Amino acid sequence: MQRITKYPLIIGKILEYTPMDHPDRQYLQEALAKSEEFCIQVNEGVREKENSDRLEWLQTHVICDGLEEQLVFNSLTNSLGPRKLVHYGILHKSKSGKELVGFLTNDFLLFVQPIKFSLNCQQFSFERNEHQKFKMYRKPIFLNELSLLGESDGNSSLSGSDAADNSSKTLRLKDQKKAIILLAPSANECSLWSKRIVEARRKFLENERNRLQRQRSIRRRLPEGRLQLVVVEAEDLVIGRKGTVNPVL
């Protein structure tokens, strides 16, 4: 993989020292374009493989009891194509301090909690928790049901100096029923969570709007069809020049 990514750099360096009128310059330019395109394809393949592996990890390490239907993480979404893991990380409930891990995909947000152990760290690692089990903290929240609360919304349990110290790390969310107040490990991580949620939610809602518009457009179309009849018996029909039958109206 490292060698593949070096090819465009090597070819580009050769091209830099190749005279403009050199007969090989055109071939070098084509080779550079092809190598860059190939690197993009390889990187995309690596990302897809990593995404698939992490979704499979969730399938085998997270117990999802209480759902009406089995949740298959590494599968197609309803309308967004393959499910993608957008962001993940350790969060804490602001009131109880309960340790959670959030997994944001392109169609829902899931909170899980460790079973009979503590993570005791600020960064979540799939590899480090390979032999651990987690359970679903609550049902997945679909992105059309999720929103970010403003600074003045929600009721944080923190007060005084604690509230001032944690305000930049507080992630305020809301589903259809209640607010969800969480603490991120740092202000940067909190900002990143907010950014990822806003972007994923925007794409989700935009896709839903487009899907509904397509459905409405289909319903507005005039009905079209073809009717095929088999004439069993007829009278007083005129035979056309080419042998076709034209009814006398």
The structural domains of the chain, with segments of one domain joined by +, span: 1-62, 76-150+168-211
Give the model's pLDDT for residue 118: 85
The pLDDT score that the predictor gives to residue 180 is 94
76-150+168-211: in CATH 3.20.10.10: no
Tokens 């972007």 belong to: 199
Please give the pLDDT value at position 117.
86
Per-residue pLDDT, 75: 96
**Per-residue pLDDT, 243:** 55
pLDDT of residue 239: 64
How many other C-beta atoms are found inside a 10 Å radius of the C-beta of residue 89? 19
pTM of the model: 0.74
Question: CB within 8 A of 17, min separation 6: which ones?
Answer: none
In the block, residue with structure tokens 């006398």: 248
d(CA 156, CA 165): 13
Rounded to 5°, angle at Cα 32 from 31 and 34? 65
Backbone dihedral angles phi then psi of residue 83, each to the nearest 5 degrees: -70, 140
Residue 164 pLDDT:
53
The distance in angstroms from the start CA to the end CA of the chain is: 77
Question: What confidence score (pLDDT) does residue 244 get?
Answer: 58
Mean pLDDT of successive 10-residue segments in the chain (249 residues)?
Answer: 82 94 94 93 92 97 93 93 96 93 97 89 90 95 91 43 70 92 95 96 93 81 77 73 55
Report CA 197 to chain centroid distance, whole Å. 10
The conformation of residue 144, written as its DSSP 8-state character, comes to G
Q: Residue 246: its pLDDT value, please?
A: 56
